[in-house]
Amino acid sequence: MDKFRITGGRSLKGRISISGAKNSALPCMAAALLTAETVTLHNIPYVRDIITQRRLLEDIGATVLTPELRTHKISASHIELFEAPYELVKTMRASVLALGPLLARFGKAKVSLPGGCAIGTRPIDLHLAGFQQLGAEVKLEAGNVVARAPKDGRLRGADVHFEKSTVTGTENLMMAASLARGRTTLYNAAREPEIADLAELLNKMGARIRGAGTPTIQIEGVEALGGAEHTIIPDRIETGTFIVAAAITKSELEIKDCRPEHSATLIAKLREVGVEIKELNQSTLHVAGAGKLAGSDVTTEPHPGFPTDMQAQYMTLMTQAEGRAAVTETVFENRFMHTSELQRMGARIHIDGRTATVEGAARLTGAPVLASDLRASASLVLAGLVAEGETMIHRVYHIDRGYERIEAKLQSVGADIERIRDSVTASLSQTAEPDAG
């Protein structure tokens, strides 16, 4: 298994370019299953989850060409299988995004029911209840969700009220409803920028979706969808992670090819704790982490609230702030796996239920630590950048799922980080373990 060796204490300087958003690319790739024509996607990040999603599409009969590294041309004209098997779903929960498109276009779909993962139980009951409201019959057979459209093969539009905001649930229903008969209204829909990006692609394919990005989305079903070309939005969580990298090392970084408006809540919070962030233009931020940081409480919430995917990185930053900060996680029930590793590096964190209280500023010292999920791993990299001495992060395959060559990007601005490869066990371990994402 690959490891990262980081020697902390270096100041960073330079420019970092942000890759495409993994969590937008994954549903957009699934959306290509809705049509027999070619869907061309640009700005696809080169990360492991995308490789897994590509494998899923190819396994069921789609062809995926990559004329350039970050461009995927997907053709789902000859789909032979209508299922996402356990082997793929267990390595990547986003495989459930195949369910909506397959059910809507072919009238049937089978997807292994994902189990719990590193950050919580994460059921998909709200996706399934939504499909049922669109007229599908949904059964559980031998660990698989088996869904069938009504007899005429087409889902029918309906009003769907989500009990709780769900990102991939909203995406699955939006894709399914695009090919349903009649109008669907999604209430309490998730508002993440990735939802609006997917809707933009679907509308280019001929769908009729209004309101994506707001809590109420209206979809007029159409008979068929066609090909389209689309550029994936920049990754707001990668953007946030590099803003924190500048802040925690008290460095100056220019972060380009990003969309600051997608990170507005995070940017406001970081300004409040003392990080200087300037918007140079619509796609470039200048971050200076010069002065003292002040501890400040945060509570994660669905967008536009503070993102759960930045909670671990913010907590690491708070270990370096003066005073106390209460970090409350409301989206997932078990997303504090990084705290025990941060404690081993010297952080003072006390957990009580869903709140972790961080006492700063603590002197962090390098240590061997274990990455447990994608964002937890990012928080350990950040801790390693500021810790005294050497930090060895084990199981960095978690970080490779969602960050494109994070070590290369950090090296390019002066960080002392290197990947230590272990090719013997890598391929086995990388597919063996369930994870968040």
| Binding region for ligand EPU (CB under 6 A) | 23, 26, 93-94, 120, 122-127, 164, 166-169, 190, 308-309, 331-332, 374-375, 402, 436-437
Catalytic status, residue 117? yes
Q: Which residues pair with 146 in a beta bridge?
A: 110, 139
247 backbone φψ class: left, alpha, beta (φ>0; ψ -120 to 50): alpha
Cβ at position 190, least distance to ligand EPU in Å: 6
DSSP bridge partners of 68: 71
CB 16 within 8 A of CB 242: yes
Smallest distance from ligand EPU to CB 413, Å:
23
- List the alpha helices (DSSP H) in 86-235: 86-89, 99-106, 125-133, 167-178, 193-204
The beta-strand segments (E) located in 292-370 are 298-299, 323-328, 348-352, 355-360, 368-370
CB of 332 to ligand EPU, least distance (A): 5
Adjacency order of strands within the sheet including 63-68: 63-68, 71-75, 38-42, 228-231
Residue tagged active-site, from 62, 89, 117, 155: 117
Residue 187's alpha-carbon distances to 169, 255, 370, in angstroms, are 12, 35, 40
Residue 348 CB, nearest approach to ligand EPU (Å): 26
Count of alpha carbons within 13 angstroms of residue 261, beta-carbon side? 6
Least distance (Å) between residue 363 CB and ligand EPU: 29
Take residue 321 and report the two structure tokens written for it. 């702030």
Residues tagged active-site: 117
